Amino acid sequence: MTTDKTTHNRRSFLKASLLAGGGMMLSVSWLSSAKAADKLKALNVPEQWSQLNGYIQITATNLVKLICPNPEFGQNVMTSLPMMVAEELDVDWKGVVVEMGPHDNTKLGPQFTGGSNSVRMYWKPLREAGAAARQMLREAAAQSWGVPVDEVTTKAGVLRHASGKSAKYGEMASKAATLPVPKGTKLKAPKDFSIVRKSKKNVEGPKIVTGKPLFGLDYRAPGMLIAMIQHPPAFGMKLKSFDASQTLKMPGIKDVFSLKLYEDGFEQGGFDTRTFNDLLVVVGKTTWEVMNARKKLKVEWEPAGDTKDTMTGRGGKREVTVPGELESTSAQLEKMQEWSKKPAQQLRKDGDPETAFKNAAQVIERTYNAPFLAHNCMEPMNFFAHVTDEKALLVGPLQAPGWTEPTLVKRLGLPADKIEIQMTRMGGGFGRRAYGHYLIEAALISKRAKAPIKLIYTREDDMTYGIYRPMYTATYRAALDANKNLIGFHVKGGGIPEHAIHANRFPAGAVENYLAEGWEIPSNITIGAFRAPRSNFNAAAEQSFLDEVAEAMGKDPIEFRLELLKRAKEAPVGKNNEYDADRYAGVLTLVRDKSGWNKPGNEKYHRGVAAYFCHNSYAAHVVDMVTRDGQPYVERVFSAMDCGIVVNPDAATNMVQGAVVDGIGNAFYGSLTHKAGAAQQSNFHNYRLIRHNEAPKKIEVHFVENDLDPTGLGEPPFPPVFGAVANALYKTTGKRQYDQPFKSVLDKRI
Amino acid sequence: MATYHLKINGKIRPVNVDPSTPMLWVLRDHLDLPGTKYGCGIAQCGACKVHVDGVAVPSCQLPVSAVGKQAITTIEGLSARGDHPVQKAWIEHDVAQCGYCQAGQIMTAAALLKQNPKPTDEDIDAAMSGNICRCGTYLLIKEAIKSAAKETAGSSTRK
């Protein structure tokens, strides 16, 4: 892969098309261009890239570079997004070089990795970019050859005309770059795809397996110092005073200081969420020196009391009171119980649920609870910053540079065009890196230290100083008539500090009398998006509950759901139902058929099923549990997905398998608890993640085949895993699971 | 501070550091070998595993003063061209998602195959369970290890 300095500097990137030129007459064969790129780099030959648009650059020597707009955190966008460009550009994938783009929302779109949106959001623009560039190359050839453009064809990066004329893209690239960008170029029909839908290997695979410095934590710059933050020992505390004299005597230590992340009255946008505002910072030469010196700080902390944050964004500008209480999990659970009995905000109502429940022959009521979860990205939070009076360079792992840049502008007092954010590969994200406070912290530290610095969170900092999945509860009620028909459904959900209820999701639309309510308890514990936010709780609670309702009705859990979906399709109740009942039913029938649900041959297994729709895709899993060494063990999983067109099938399968493994792990173990505001788990010795020996032996992934525009896979397969595991555990142990995580089951021999 | 002459990836590399410095940080901060990853610092995740005389150990728990003459191999030195059978198998199975833990996974797998060229599923679980992958690529890791084992066995038969 080539590294072209010009693409890492936004201003020259914008000018790059003016540099279109060529004259590089090195003999480079198309197919070996990736190797050729390395060769050129080794020879130190400056490449001149013709930029056809923000996503496509071609040299006269016929190297094709595709720019990935979105930061990569393992969802494989550096491969799947360029595949879409290549499909329409009509180039040989083997010769393509992929590079992570600079932060440039004007040229490269929203550049936001999250919400399972990358593929969905870029599906059209990237294919249009490829098609437009191909059209420009054809036009350039037509002009050069004096033939009508319609007669110029392309195949795998070569332009041809019936007269026998032909040229590689590279030969026409500089001319093409000067042509106007066509609009409305026709895109391929799915049946004509030759790259999309064909598995392509991760373009960064060779670098990953050889340990190349791809990640933020690997980034180094001359004169770079290391910085760490000493944060308060508990949520609800703040810095009172500190004595750094011992720390400053330690080898390698340059400075210790405190500063405020946001000044008083700072207007926080939705993604400015931060844990602590007082930063006590140690700066030194090396990581180990700073780690050790930080331990020598003598710090006095004090209760912060109630504080006020000024919020902007959704909901308008408003003052929010953050309670100062030092919270404990046991008290939080009690508080949630108490609040669950209070009147709540009505989120949706269909029919007359009150009467339905009054007239019911049987009411089933169950309450589900789930704890805070820490993201535990394998690469802890970190960012490089070099801030001077004139400009700022920031390099590191970040999901949404466009959301953080305005905050940098405000906090650094520099205009946006003086701030450059480079996005490295991320060692996981799962939503955590959508909150760029650690980047602002790094920038302020660099400015104060007057040096290039890298801010590093230790694992303990990362876990105890997080932006967690909220703590949730929900009470579900089902009303059955004397004939065991479902005549009413009620969900009342709450959370600290937000509830998880998606009022317009299934089974809304499928039940005549329906009520959804929500309530929220404010907290100083910081929360944010965590792989399929809210859905990751709902799919556990609701899918466990539906299993129990089906059982009470004497119905097969899959057939029960299919009946509800049939109703939702044929005579939908209410408005704004978010899901497509056909596609929802489609994944259920697919997983039923592929797993041989209720078919002989599976007697060895305790089977649990769950399905869910979120982030525009549909997922269903059948979890096959056995008892191994006296413990429940998920030995086999069948998954069915509907995400429309599957852009990169093998990688998509990998994503689904990973989500299943991650889901099983979080269902059994995921839990972050607090005592007097302090996180009770700090590292992987007391926060369990799933390990090799606990992963299923087989996860069979099936995709519904259709030609619908593709949607994402990072989140949708994750939530229903919790429900399927809970339902399989019931079959295994005879006990329903109401409280996440389910690890209590593992403590007892079955 | 003390000076050590460490044998790393076949070369002698002098460093001048505090004797307590874990090899993880010696590699990353002093020797410009960032392929070895920091994940937990307490030998729970395996991201920092390197070979010490052929055995995979978490470098976050290995003080530089304890290394002595033992040969250390990092992911950067596992093969000259990224073509160790385990690395090839990782590419073939397209194992990585985020990729952060994979250097540790690969080093652990390579050490396992050296010691046990035909591991069973249980052997693989036992050897690999110290390595966490939050992305959940465990199934592909196992497949890749089996492929690498086959390739190693195949090439030794041919010899």
| Confidence at A84, pLDDT banded by 50, 70, 90 | very high
Q: For residue range A511-563, what is the model confidence (pLDDT) as tens digits?
A: 999 999 999 999 999 999 999 999 999 999 999 999 999 999 999 999 999 99
Instruction: For residues A479 and A441, state if they share a domain.
Output: no
- Note whether residue A632 is domain-resident: yes
Q: Residues of B with CB below 8 A from A659's CB?
A: 136
Q: Which pLDDT does position A23 carry in this prediction? A: 24
The region of weakest confidence among A94-98, A167-171, A312-316, A488-492 is: A312-316
Chain A contact for B16 (CB, 8 A cutoff): no
> For residues B97, B98, B100 and B104, what is the CA-based torsion angle, rounded to 10 degrees?
-10
3-state secondary structure of B135: coil
CB-based contact A487:A468 (threshold 8 Å): no
- pLDDT the model gives residue B156: 55
What's the pLDDT score for residue A22? 31
Q: For residues A455 and A508, state if they share a domain.
A: no
Cα–Cα distance, A127 to A185 (Å, whole number): 10
Read off the tokens for A166: 């032909």
Tell me which H or E stretch contains A633: strand A631-642
Six-digit token string for A233: 């020992």
Claim to verify: residue A171 and residue A266 sit in the same structural domain = no
- Is the same domain home to A703 and A624? yes
Show which of A448, A464, A480 is a domain's final residue.
A464
Q: What is the mean pLDDT of residues A117-141?
A: 97
Q: Is residue A496 part of a domain?
A: yes
Q: Which of A270-284, A699-713, B52-66, B77-91 has the lowest mean pLDDT?
A: A270-284
Q: Which residues contact A323 (CB under 8 A, 6 or more apart)?
A: A236, A306, A522, A523, A524
As a whole number, mean pLDDT of residues A126-140 equals: 97
What is the distance between the terminal CA atoms of chain A, rounded to a whole angstrom?
54
The verdict on A523 and A652 lying in the same domain is: yes
Q: Which of A619, A344, A646, A320 is nearest to A501 (CA)?
A: A344
How far, in Å, CA of A443 to CA of A406, rounded?
A: 13
CA atoms within 13 A on the CB side of A563: 12
**Do A424 and A498 fall into the same domain?**
no
Same domain assignment for residues A477 and A456 = no
Q: By the 8 A CB rule, do A695 and A663 touch? A: no
Rg (chain A; Cα; Å): 28
Structure letter (DSSP) for residue A602? -
CA distance A33 to A20: 19
Q: Above 50 in pLDDT, residue A1?
A: no
- The beta strands (E) that lie in B25-152 are given as 49-52, 55-58, 71-73
pLDDT score at B154:
73
Flag whether A45 is in a domain: yes
Chain A residues 415-434 with CB within 8 Å of chain B: 425-430
Residues 687-706 of A with CB under 8 A from B: 689-693, 695-699
Phi-psi region of A276 (alpha: psi -120 to 50; beta: other; left: phi over 0): beta
Kindly state whether residues A163 and A227 are assigned to the same domain.
Answer: no
What per-residue confidence (pLDDT) applies to B49?
98
- Return the percent helix, strand and coil in chain B, to nearest 5: 45, 15, 40
Average pLDDT over residues A90-112: 94
pLDDT digits (tens, 9 = 90+) for A628-667: 999 999 999 999 999 999 999 999 999 999 999 999 999 9
The answer to whether residue B106 neighbours chain A at the CB level (below 8 Å) is yes
In a domain, A343, yes or no: no
B19 interface with A at CB cutoff 8 Å: no
The secondary structure of residue A251, as a DSSP letter, is: T
Q: What pLDDT is recorded for position A270?
A: 85
Burial environment of residue A570 by CB neighbours within 10 A (0 to 12, 13 to 18, 19 or more): exposed
Residues 6+ apart with CB under 8 A from A93: A83, A86, A195, A200
Chain A residue with Cα closest to B130? A691
C-alpha angle with apex A47: A44 to A51, nearest 5 degrees? 160
Residue B85, preceding bond cis, omega within 30 degrees? no
For testing contact with chain B, the best of A198, A209, A290, A698 (most B CBs within 10 A): A209
Whether residue A32 lies inside any domain: the answer is: yes
Among the three residues A464, A488, A518, which one is the final residue of a domain in this structure?
A: A464
What residues in A contact B139, CB-CB < 8 Å? Answer: 657, 661, 695-696, 698-699
Q: Do A211 and B132 touch (CB under 8 A)?
A: no
Question: What CATH number corresponds to the domain at position A260?
Answer: 3.30.365.10
Report the alpha-carbon distance of residue B76 to residue A220 in Å, rounded.
17
Between A743 and A644, the higher pLDDT residue? A644
Higher pLDDT, A18 or A93: A93
Chain A residues inside the 8 Å CB shell of B134: 376-378, 428, 430, 662, 689
Residue pLDDT, tens place only, A266-324: 999 889 998 899 999 999 999 999 999 999 999 999 999 999 999 987 778 999 999 99
Q: Is the pLDDT of residue B150 over 70?
A: yes
Instruction: Answer yes or no: is A329 within a domain.
Output: no
Residue of B15, B76, B94, B143 to mutate, interface with A, max A Cβ within 10 Å? B94
Whether the Cβ atoms of residue A176 and residue A185 lie closer than 8 Å to each other = no
What mean pLDDT comes out for the span A457-481?
98
Whole-angstrom Cα distance, residue B20 to residue A189?
62
B residues 118..147 contacting A (CB < 8 A) = 121, 124-126, 128-142
Q: Identify all chain A residues contacting B32, using CB atoms and an 8 Å cutoff.
A: 220
Within an 8 Å CB–CB cutoff, is residue B101 touching chain A? yes
Mean pLDDT of A65-76: 96
- Asked if the structure places residue A433 within a domain, the reply is yes
How much is the average pLDDT of A491-518?
Answer: 98
- The answer to whether residues A394 and A539 belong to one domain is no
Residues in chain B: 159
Query: What is the domain extent for residue A381?
Result: 219-308+375-464
Task: Please check whether residues A638 and A742 belong to one and the same domain.
Answer: yes
Q: Which residues contact A462 (CB under 8 A, 6 or more apart)?
A: A374, A376, A377, A380, A381
Total residues found in chain A within this entry: 750
Instruction: With a threshold of 0.95, tell me whether the complex ipTM lies above it.
Output: yes
Q: Which 3 state secondary structure label does DSSP give A245?
A: helix
| Dihedral sign of CA atoms A238, A670, A426, B73 in order | positive
Same domain, residue pair A499 and A454: no
For B97, which residue in chain A has the nearest alpha carbon? A74
Q: Does residue A439 contact residue A317 with C-beta atoms inside 8 Å?
A: no
For range A129-144, the mean pLDDT: 98
Give the range among A12-26, A419-433, B68-82 with minimum mean pLDDT. Answer: A12-26
pLDDT at A100 over 50: yes
Same domain, A639 and A512: yes
Mean of per-residue pLDDT scores for chain A? 93
Residue from B138, B143, B145, B147 whose CB has the most chain A CBs within 10 Å, to mutate: B138
Q: How far apart are CA A397 and CA A381, in angstroms?
A: 8
Interchain proximity B132–A689, CB inside 8 Å: yes
Residue B84 scores a pLDDT above 90: yes
Domain boundary among A203, A234, A268: A203
Q: Would you state the pLDDT for residue A13?
A: 26
How far apart, in Å, are the Cα atoms of A449 and each of A243, A244, A259, B122? 18, 16, 11, 52
B76 inside 8 A of chain A by CB: yes
pLDDT of residue A28: 27
Residues of chain A neighbouring B97 (CB-CB closer than 8 A):
74-76, 654-655, 658
Query: A698-703 and A631-642: which strand pairing?
Result: parallel
pLDDT digits (tens, 9 = 90+) for A354-393: 999 999 999 999 999 999 999 999 999 999 999 999 999 9
Q: Look at residue A19 in the predicted model and tell me its pLDDT.
A: 30
Q: CA angle, corner A544, sides to A543 and A550, nearest 5?
A: 85
How many domains in chain A? 3
Looking at residue A745, its pLDDT comes to 84
User: CA-to-CA distance for A509 and A569, rounded, in angstroms?
Assistant: 8
CA distance A23 to A39: 17
- Tell me the two tokens of residue A676: 């007097």
Task: Average the pLDDT over A414-419 and give the result.
Answer: 97
CA distance B140 to B159: 29
Q: What is the enclosing helix (H) or strand (E) of A19?
A: none
Domains by residue range for chain B, with CATH: 2-77 (3.10.20.30), 85-158 (1.10.150.120)
3-state DSSP assignment of residue A321: strand
Element (H, E) at A455: strand A453-456
Evaluate if residue A45 carries a pLDDT over 60: no
A324 falls within a domain: no
Tokens of A386: 């070099």
Strands B55-58 and B49-52 turn out to be: antiparallel
Q: At CB < 8 A and 24+ separation, what contacts does A159-168 make?
A: A165/A141, A167/A141, A168/A30, A168/A62
Give the Cα separation of A638 and A574 in Å (integer).
Answer: 33
By Cβ distance, the residue of B76, B90, B135 closest to A658 is B135
